[in-house]
Amino acid sequence: MSQNNVRIPFGLALILGISAGIMWGQGDTLATLLCAISAVWMAVLGAGGLHRWLGILTAGASALLVSLYLGVQHKGIAGKSICSVNQTFDCDKVNTSVYAELFDIPIAFLGSSFYAGVIALSILCLRSGAAYKFAAHIVALGGLVSVGYSLFLAYASMGLGAWCLFCISLYGLNAMVLYFSWPLVGQSDTGLLKGALAGGRSTNAFAGTAVIMLVGSMAWYNTGANEIPEGDSVQDLSSLFSAVEGSLTVDGTEPAYGSDASKYKVVEFADFECPYCGRLFPEIHHLPDGDPDIQILFKHYPLSGLCNEGLGTERHKNSCAAARTADCANRQGKFWDLSRLMFKNQKSLDPEGLEFMAVQVGLDVEALKACAADPLTDAKVRTDVAHGSAAGVHATPSLFLQGLYGSEWVLVPGGPKAVAKLVAAHKAGKPFPEEPPAPKPHSH
């Protein structure tokens, strides 16, 4: 690209950037984002006109920032996304859909790992391209896969009826990574796949950077569980549980995950608007996967006076309706599927959001609505709340474990890791106190 032609995308990037600032000042979020995304695309094209690896570097760096932002939003601790503008352009709906993860890993973090590797190779090739002769092959193959996956996600968004502007920005950046790297592959005598799989310096640099990024991202994503003692002495184990303040009732209506023949039963009291419940739900839900001797039973405990007497109605105003909807999903055999989505999308538990998620997991929406409006469903939720109050639930999530002392229940404040440790120690024959420690006042 000639010098004059390079000035065109840079000039457009400047104009679009200024326009984005003006639109932001006027409160037009949609126009702001469209101008900002277009400005980034133009800047990448300009950089690529100066040097192909500079274009790849600029695209990778821009995509990395967007992916990390989407990854943080996917965890659900940062509030509403800035690119959730309206019903059509709603990043949060797309970012919490069933398409937002692959093998239980947020695709945003899989993407950020790829972009980190692209950045590393770009920097190395700008400094000494001859030493990394297969770098372009790796980037081009990754770009090809990314573009293909972008097309799939675009198709999925059509089905969801919602679009993520930041995802769209990544679609364009993926295309530019492929656009700038493909001619570099053509300059080599080695085919795309053979060069990408050749190993050596390029592979080591890319893979090392990508793995570090993915491990670091997932380590942050999985933080939040309580720390538990490393030892397994009687004192260590007794610090992880206590006797139940009152009595715990299990009536057989609870959604169950795991075998009914399991020796150890865990009852979880949770609120769908409770952030900590959302963060721990995957780990709690996976307890039976790690140990088939554990079964999970779920009971509702919304922190809202709308169905939990004695509490105010100003907080968690959607939690009672969410509990009724989940209970009805259980009658259609989809409790865990819907619950997983609701815990990930806690900012969208209004009627429209619940219906949107119900469609995603394949529920009969009309039957679900009728069931949720049935007074008997409300009574079921209130019964769970009463059981929680009788057992001494003071916060959510609250976990109760049966199996350490026969049919007697104990409260486990330390979360799923504490449950797993107690069960493993009990199965291994470790010594436990003769009776559960006295209840800890308002422990959670």
Mean pLDDT on 281-294: 93
DSSP 17-28: HHHHHHHHHTT-
Contacts of 128 (CB under 8 A, 6+ apart): none
pLDDT at 444: 38
Kindly state whether residues 327 and 242 are assigned to the same domain: yes
pLDDT at 80: 75
Kindly state whether residues 194 and 299 are assigned to the same domain: no
**Range with lowest mean pLDDT among 46-55, 103-112, 288-297:** 103-112
In a domain, 332, yes or no: yes
Kindly state whether residues 278 and 354 are assigned to the same domain: yes
- Residue ending a domain, among 187, 221, 255, is 221
Mean pLDDT on 96-105: 77
State the chain's mean pLDDT as an integer: 91
Kindly state whether residues 306 and 209 are assigned to the same domain: no
Kindly state whether residues 181 and 281 are assigned to the same domain: no
pLDDT at 252: 93
Q: Which residue has the higher pLDDT, 95 or 353?
A: 353
In a domain, 173, yes or no: yes
Kindly state whether residues 189 and 267 are assigned to the same domain: no
Beta strand extents in 133-274 (DSSP E only): 242-243, 256-257, 264-270
Tell whether the torsion through CA atoms of 225, 229, 231 and 237 is positive or negative: negative
Reduced DSSP (H G I as helix, E B as strand, rest coil) percent helix, strand, coil of the chain, to 5: 60, 10, 30
In a domain, 30, yes or no: no
In a domain, 308, yes or no: yes
* Half-sphere exposure (Cβ direction) of 45: Cα atoms closer than 13 Å: 19
Kindly state whether residues 202 and 240 are assigned to the same domain: no
In a domain, 380, yes or no: yes
Buried b or exposed e, range 45-77, using 16+ CB within 10 angstroms = bbbbbeebbbbbbbbbbbbbebbbbbbbbbbbe
Bridge pairing between strands 294-300 and 256-257: antiparallel
409 DSSP β-pair partners: 402
Mean pLDDT on 313-319: 84
Residue 399 near residue 228, CB atoms below 8 Å = no
pLDDT at 103: 75
Kindly state whether residues 94 and 150 are assigned to the same domain: yes
pLDDT band of residue 148 (cuts 50, 70, 90) is: very high
Q: Which domain holds residue 357?
A: 234-427
In a domain, 351, yes or no: yes
pLDDT band of residue 4 (cuts 50, 70, 90) is: low
What is the Cα–Cα distance from 150 to 334, expressed in whole angstroms?
29
**SS3 of residue 255 by DSSP:** coil
H or E stretch covering 296: strand 294-300
Q: What is the pLDDT of residues 214-268, one digit of tens each?
A: 999 998 887 654 556 677 899 899 999 999 999 999 999 999 999 999 999 999 9
265 DSSP β-pair partners: 295, 402
Mean pLDDT on 188-209: 93
In a domain, 407, yes or no: yes
CATH number at residue 132: 1.20.1440
Kindly state whether residues 79 and 191 are assigned to the same domain: yes
In a domain, 170, yes or no: yes
What is the Cα–Cα distance from 301 to 382, expressed in whole angstroms?
8
Tokens of 100: 């937002």
pLDDT at 199 over 50: yes
What is the Cα–Cα distance from 101 to 111, expressed in whole angstroms?
11
CATH number at residue 372: 3.40.30.10
Tell whether the torsion through CA atoms of 48, 54, 58 and 59 is positive or negative: positive
pLDDT at 328: 97
pLDDT at 439: 84
Total domain count, the chain:
2
pLDDT at 92 over 60: yes
Kindly state whether residues 122 and 259 are assigned to the same domain: no
Mean pLDDT on 306-326: 89
Cα–Cα separations (whole angstroms), residue 372 to 238, 303, 321, 354 = 41, 18, 8, 11
Kindly state whether residues 272 and 131 are assigned to the same domain: no
Kindly state whether residues 267 and 198 are assigned to the same domain: no
